[in-house]
Amino acid sequence: MTETKTDSTTSDGSSGSDRGGALTPSSAASSLSSTASTGSILGEVLNRTREWFGTYIRVADDLDLDLLALWTVHTHLAAVSYSTPRLQIDSAMPGAGKTTVLEHLNRLAYEPVQAASVSSPALLARLVAGGIRTILIDEVDRSLNPKKPGVEDLIAIINSGYKKGATRPVLVPVQGGNWDVKEMSTYSPVAMAGNSPQLPDDTRSRCIRVLLIPDFKGEASESDWEVIEPDAFDLAETIRQAVEQVSDDVRTARPALPEKCVGRMKEKWNPLRRIAEVAGGDWPAMCDVLIERDIEETEMEREEGLAKLPPAVILLKDLSEVWGDTDFRKTTSLVTELALHNPEMWGMNSAYGKALTTQRMGRMLMQAYKINSVKLPDGDRPRGYRRTAFTQLWDQFDLEPSKETGRTGPSVRTDRREGAA
């Protein structure tokens, strides 16, 4: 068997072998019957899978080795999960090992199918028509580029298939040379590799990300498949036997998640957290660290403007920042202050081609939030907006209106942010 390196460390500085020691496929298989009832065999298999990836690739954060192990085992348990997060295998430059990771997943994941690219949505649906497959897509920075014609349907399949119950209508041939419409399931695990791919926001929100770095020091072992493929298949069989023993435990597990792991974040992390719960040892705590890291990165992207917000959300945010300490604001004054506050969005040089108008702002607020302008009953005042129309929305979006008219810069609730620190 190929020698496995054990110098990778966890976030607390301990070695990976401290989680139960290296587990060879043969020893894991022989111990299934004696340890599966407690779920500890799942922890041992996760340890072994983590060490396997740590032998052949280099990551920016050793936590990503834990993530790869959890996701690999998850592909064998996707049938007992409600959702399956998309794995984004990322790097800042070529030659970091993205294709290598896909090659390893092609041996270790459940019913894998590897594709350099996907040519049509119908093909993607047909790949999983006979049951759950693990779809491995390479070079997504080109094949799933949002600017590529026709890519919207492919992305829609990938997005919908991360939840059980999603289907796509596909034409299939029937007797007599005719065609019939068949609803094909799109639910399956998907791993996507690419160099800093520009995935749409709705796809990124369904992804858990692994960041690879080039092995300039030559520390990673070469993935010589003529030599290591038998060991890879042995490990895959060990994973399969282990999950057979604990699948019911994973299906019924209901672990507590970190406080801010809600909504989409919960949907993509809950399947992995269930596996960690059943695995025991320090896997539950390690998975919580991964979740909290993802939450923190998402919040940082939002606060730094890296996440693209819809114009209506930017309008709501900017209104909170220019509103001031008053109950009623005239529409004309709001439009003027918005153009000064955020000229790139609402000024003459905006992507819209002209400055924001009262009519356009009124349409945006009506369509997005059902907020209409009003005229105060006392006197002949111009139309405007009441503060009370926005209060609940600002609270839901975690925005705190500024006390000064025309104030620049976001005002965020300090109590919530401090509570997350």
pLDDT tens per residue, range 360-414: 999 999 999 999 999 877 766 789 999 999 999 998 888 888 765 544 444 333 3
At residue 125, the 3 state secondary structure works out as: helix
In 175-323, the DSSP E strands lie at 178-185, 190-195, 207-211
Contact 339, 355 (CB under 8 A): yes
- Enumerate helices (H) and strands (E) in the chain, giving the number of each: 17, 9
Rounded CA-CA distance 361/369 in Å is 12
Rounded CA-CA distance 41/241 in Å is 10
Of all residues in the chain, what percent carry a pLDDT higher than 70? Answer: 82
- Please enumerate in sequence order all residues whose Cβ is within 8 A of that of 392, keeping only pairs 6 or more positions apart, or say none: none
Q: What is the pLDDT of residues 399-420, one digit of tens each?
A: 888 765 544 444 333 333 333 3
- pLDDT at position 152, please? 79
Tokens matching residue 113: 């199918």
DSSP output for 89-115: EEESSTTSSHHHHHHHHHHHSSSEEEE
Count CB-CB contacts under 10 A for residue 304: 8
- pLDDT at position 3, please? 41
Give the CATH class of 16-303. alpha beta
- pLDDT at position 173, please? 75
Contact 2, 231 (CB under 8 A): yes
Q: What is the dihedral of CA 25, 28, 32, 36, to 10 degrees?
A: -120
C-alpha distances out from residue 30 to 7, 20, 170, 242, Å: 26, 16, 45, 11
Rounded to the nearest integer, the mean pLDDT of the chain is 82
> Could you say which DSSP state residue 39 is in?
T
Give me the mean pLDDT over the 43-50 stretch.
Answer: 96
Contact 301, 113 (CB under 8 A): no
Looking at residue 56, its amino acid is: Y
- Domain map (residue ranges) of the chain: 16-303, 311-420
Rounded CA-CA distance 287/258 in Å is 10
* 390 CB-contact burial (10 Å; exposed 0-12 / middle 13-18 / buried 19+): buried
Q: In the Cβ-directed half-sphere of 149, how many Cα atoms lie within 13 Å?
A: 0
pLDDT band for position 9 (cuts 50, 70, 90)? very low
Rounded CA-CA distance 315/308 in Å is 13
pLDDT band for position 351 (cuts 50, 70, 90)? confident
Phi, psi angles (nearest 5°) of residue 62:
-60, -20
- pLDDT at position 63, please? 95
Rounded CA-CA distance 22/49 in Å is 9
How far does CA 59 lie from the centroid of its chain? 18
- Please enumerate in sequence order all residues whose Cβ is within 8 A of that of 329, keeping only pairs 6 or more positions apart, or say none: 323, 384, 385, 387
Q: Which comes out higher in pLDDT, residue 370 or 179?
A: 370
Contact 375, 381 (CB under 8 A): yes
In 138-177, the DSSP E strands lie at 167-174
Contact 118, 130 (CB under 8 A): no
